[in-house]
Amino acid sequence: MPRQLFLQNIIACIWDFDKTLIPGYMQAPIFDHFRVDAKKFWKEVKALPNYYRKDQLDLIVPDTVYLNHFITYARDGIFKGLNNQRLREFGAEIEFYKGLPEFFDTVKHFVKANPAHRQHDIRLEHYIVSTGLRQMILGSKIAPYVDGVWGCEFVENPPQPGYLDPAGANAPRSSKIISQIAYTLDNTTKTRAIFEINKGTNKISDINVNAKIPDEDRRVPIQNMIYIADGPSDIPVFSIVNRFGGRTFAVYQPGSTEEFSQVNRLQKQGRVQSYGEAEYTLGSQTAMWIENAVSEIAECIVTNRQRALGDKIGKPPKHLD
């Protein structure tokens, strides 16, 4: 009899980062340190696609074009000495919304506290899927509370042509500075991360995300996922998670009329199931919604596990009257 690959006893809370876990954009400490006008930088980034089109480039990804501009600023000495270690150091300066990062642990303990959940070894994992800089997230206060991070990565010191030759291996290395893009994640390719979590690619490297895997053999069914983010840029992931029975929740900055209107529209359009303030203290509406969603998913897992046990284990024989 074929055996199930995974027990499907994992609940995944998947988080956007900017304006979801923090009030603004993670790159703020970098701009502050190098005394760069953030508004000017992002204005330049916004204009880059049109600039590139003058060179007859038609296919440009607006979500990640900022990475090229970061490299340009580093190469020209404006972001002097910016490398992955420095990005982690800047990440340590990021300030989070109220209740974080402690809320991540609170939800995990919330699952463990239920005897039925412990009996079936139900666990909760936190993942961050961001178009921002992965090294900054890994250097931030929330990193120890997270089970995995997807984000954009830079190469500091790319090898020169012929680097595999014995002579090339001894060539002097230049100082470390971000100079190439290693990995990008845009608003659409965020969905790849969802399927990597779904299939267990992030835990077992032998599993390819494009491999055909039956639903019952996937590590985290999408109906066991909760996706929390801030806005329209997350619509592709909202759509996938909604379509396959997961939970979706949008957050807005407390007191921001503009952000409130944005997430309100998302709910009216059926993009998200609910929304609330980006405030994660115990007893807040957002914290309670997430805990309730986790509880409902956990109860479904318990029911499915009990049903599976009942199907596989027959009733013991009894004495006849």
pLDDT in tens, 36-68: 999 999 999 999 999 998 888 888 888 899 999
Which tokens hold the place of 285?
A: 């509406």
190 closest CA partner among 137, 247, 233, 220: 233
What predicted TM-score, i.e. pTM, was given to this entire model? 0.91
10-312 classified as CATH 3.40.50.1000: yes
For residue 121, what are the contacts with CB-CB under 8 A and spacing of at least 6? Answer: 7, 9
Domain boundaries, the chain: 10-312
pLDDT of residue 8: 85
Per-residue pLDDT tens digits for 103-120:
999 999 999 998 988 888
In order, the DSSP letters of 102-113 are HHHHHHHHHHHT
225 closest CA partner among 199, 251, 204: 199
Which tokens hold the place of 190?
A: 């965020």
